[in-house]
Structures are given as C-alpha cells and as structure tokens.
Amino acid sequence: MPVRPPVFRPNGYVPYEGDRLSERDRGYTKAWAKASALFKQEHPLCVGCEAVGKVVVTEVTDHVIPHKGNKVLFWDQANWQPACRPHHDVVKQRLEKLYAQGKVKASDLRLDSPKAIELTKDMLGVGGI
C-alpha cells in the first residue's frame, strides 16, 4: 500500500482554522482582487525582504493589522503591506499569533519592524527566501 510522504511544516506553521468564513465572506471579492493587483503593481517588492537586503517580488497584499471582518480596516490602504509568500505565510502568521497573545505590539506586525526582521532571520534564514 502506498505511503503518503511526510508534509513539510515550517517552524511556526499555524493549521487552517476550520471555522473561518469563506474568502468571499471575509471580503476577498473581485473588487479586492482588483485593488490588490493595483497595490502590488505600485509596490512590486516585498517589504520584509527589503528589510533584510533581499529583492523579492510581492505576491500578496497583506493586512498589517488583521481586519477580522472590519470593512473599514480591510479597505484602509495604510493597513496594507506588500509581501512575498514566505513572509505572509510564515513570518506574518507567527507575528499575528504573538500579537493575539499580547506578546508584541501592533507596530511589530509590519514586516520591516525589528521583531519581523528577527523572525525572518530565525524562521526563513537570510538566504532562505
């Protein structure tokens, strides 16, 4: 019988929360896709990678402070930052977990903050992006 190979889980991996609303119900609509595409065009490089001296293309428009369904916060472009997948999926998830636990401030959620830079080096390695 075939055996499923092990699945790589980066340090700090947070499993999918099964009780979350659908993407559409959380606000990720065609209007968001259009606004995000324009934002990524205007901000072509990942801010977290730039902070550690790397040049990596933006793949995700990240909400600095999680909007949790707040439409004003969702659409506030001052709350958006350009991110690559590793920064969004690994570093930012760890930061959000620490933020929810009260261990970091809202300003630490920016991918170019000293805390984010520290986590980038620890979790992704400077050359691992």
Name the one residue in this structure whose structure tokens are 């991110």. Answer: 83
Closest CA to 56 of 65, 47, 64: 47
Where are the strands (E) in 1-129, listed by range?
60-63, 80-83
Determine phi and psi for 91, rounding to 5 degrees: -65, -50
Closest CA to 124 of 44, 43, 63, 53: 53
Average pLDDT of the chain, as a whole number: 87
Residue type, 120: T
Supply the pTM of this predicted model.
Answer: 0.77
Q: Please state whether beta strands 60-63 and 80-83 pair in parallel, antiparallel, or not at all (unpaired).
A: antiparallel
pLDDT, tens only, 89-121: 999 999 999 999 999 999 999 999 999 999 999
Measure the CA–CA gap between 63 and 93, rounded to whole angstroms.
11
- Predicted pLDDT at 25: 61
Q: Are 48 and 83 in contact (CB under 8 A)?
A: yes
Tokens of 50: 């730039």
Q: Is residue 57's pLDDT more than 60?
A: yes
